[in-house]
């Protein structure tokens, strides 16, 4: 039985509600990874002697500007200190990447095992999906972390190809404008925007669908990549519907928190420290429902991939029987 987009969304929500700890863990993990990225970016600046966060630098904009100019001047020379700072930055960023892939493997492992445990069908009791435990959560991460890292490496290796297509389109856009004027710019721009946008959208959808297949039995980077293309080819409408719903909910959340942020800036304009503190609290609060949306989308994609796997097995068995 093939599931519709609504059925996948229902199963994804039920799966996540039964394993609600995943939302809290992913919420905390996002801030941990962000902190590591900021730390990695700050290490080369600290090694180069930049002190824009010091009290003297914050006292005036000129002090901060002098610190930045001095650090940029030192970066012009390849010194051992610069190489040390860059090596430290890469090491911390690699740690952040591995940590993110590990938690993704943990999360998708729980979601996939819960999807396997529950009986097929659009409506199932949430108790059938309950599989979360600390031991299983950490075990899935150790088992599948390299799969998730490999898929990200593959995705990033395809991104420069898309960037090259965009650069080529912009070159043709500039040449057409200089040779034939504004009508050519309009025609080339509209004609190129559609395939470039479709390639970018297809790449993003493929990555998310392939990621949902990584925690399945017998999967891997190559198998998940092929299945991602296969699911997109057969169920593009369902995948698009899930992403559009998630995007609409994210925009609705942004519409709620944006006026709150503007109100905080207006009311606390004379107290910059309190303003920064309240803005940070709003960031934490907004990240929680956004994480919930991302996890519901992940659970829905896991349900969709699982449904397509079962349909493929059923078709194969019917062909063999015939």
Rg of the Cα atoms in the chain: 24
CB burial readout 161-194, b (16+ within 10 A) else e:
eeeeeeeebeeebeebbeeeeeebeeebeeebee
The total of other beta-carbon atoms located within 10 Å of residue 71's CB is 19
How many Cα atoms occupy the beta-carbon half-sphere of 161 within 13 Å? Answer: 8
The residue that leads in pLDDT, 164 or 66, is 164
CB 122 within 8 A of CB 11: yes
Residue 267 has pLDDT above 90, yes or no: no
- The percent of residues in the chain predicted with pLDDT above 70, rounded, is 84
d(CA 173, CA 187): 9
Supply the DSSP string of 51-102, one letter for each residue.
-TTSHHHHH-HHHHHHHHHHHHHHHTS--HHHHHHHHHHHHHHHHHHHHHHH
d(CA 101, CA 154): 14
Domain ranges of the chain: 5-154+236-321
Per residue in 171-224, pLDDT (tens digit) is: 777 776 666 667 766 777 777 778 888 888 999 999 999 999 998 888 889 999
Residue 81: pLDDT band by 50, 70, 90 thresholds? low
Residue 59 has pLDDT above 90, yes or no: no
Highest mean pLDDT among 84-98, 233-247, 304-318: 233-247
Residue 243 has pLDDT above 60, yes or no: yes
Across the chain, mean pLDDT equals 83
Residue 317 has pLDDT above 90, yes or no: no
Residue 58 has pLDDT above 50, yes or no: no
Helix or strand holding residue 262 (H, E): helix 221-267
The total of other beta-carbon atoms located within 10 Å of residue 132's CB is 17
* Section 134-155 average pLDDT: 93
pLDDT recorded at residue 48: 61
Q: Provide the whole-model pTM.
A: 0.83
d(CA 282, CA 286): 6
d(CA 15, CA 18): 5
Per residue in 145-182, pLDDT (tens digit) is: 999 999 999 999 988 888 888 888 777 777 766 666 67
* Section 126-152 average pLDDT: 92
The total of other beta-carbon atoms located within 10 Å of residue 299's CB is 31
**Structure tokens that stand for 64 in this block:** 């901060």
Residue 293 has pLDDT above 90, yes or no: yes
Sequence-distant (6+) residues with CB within 8 A of 261 are: 279, 282
Nearest in space to 129 (alpha carbons), one of 116, 138, 142: 116
CB 114 within 8 A of CB 129: yes
């Amino acid at each position: 039985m093939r599931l519709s987009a609504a059925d996948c969304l229902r199963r994804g929500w039920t799966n996540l509600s039964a394993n609600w700890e995943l939302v809290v863990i992913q919420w905390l993990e996002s801030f941990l990874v962000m902190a590591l990225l900021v730390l990695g970016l700050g290490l080369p600046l600290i090694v180069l002697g930049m002190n824009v966060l010091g009290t003297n630098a914050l006292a005036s904009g000129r002090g901060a500007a002098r610190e930045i100019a001095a650090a940029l001047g030192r970066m012009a020379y390849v010194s051992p200190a610069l190489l040390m700072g860059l090596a430290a930055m890469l090491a911390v960023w690699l740690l952040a990447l591995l940590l993110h892939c590990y938690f993704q493997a943990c999360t998708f492992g729980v979601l996939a095992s819960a999807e396997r445990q529950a009986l097929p069908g659009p409506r199932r009791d949430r108790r059938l999906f309950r599989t979360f435990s600390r031991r299983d959560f950490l075990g899935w991460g150790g088992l599948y972390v390299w799969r998730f890292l490999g898929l990200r490496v593959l995705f990033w290796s395809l991104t420069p190809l898309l960037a090259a297509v965009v650069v080529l389109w912009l070159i043709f856009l500039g040449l057409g404008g200089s040779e034939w004027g504004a009508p050519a710019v309009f025609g080339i721009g509209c004609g190129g925007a559609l395939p470039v946008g479709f390639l970018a959208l297809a790449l993003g959808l493929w990555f998310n669908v392939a990621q949902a297949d990584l925690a399945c039995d017998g999967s891997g980077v190559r198998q998940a990549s092929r299945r991602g293309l296969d699911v997109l080819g057969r169920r593009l409408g369902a995948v698009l519907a899930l992403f559009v719903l998630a995007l609409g909910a994210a925009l609705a959340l942004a519409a709620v928190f944006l006026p709150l942020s503007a109100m905080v800036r207006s009311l606390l304009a004379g107290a910059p420290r309190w303003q920064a503190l309240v803005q940070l609290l709003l960031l934490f609060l907004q990240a929680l429902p956004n994480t919930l949306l991302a996890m519901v989308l992940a659970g829905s994609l896991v349900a969709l991939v699982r449904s397509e796997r079962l349909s493929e097995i059923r078709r194969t068995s019917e062909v063999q029987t015939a």
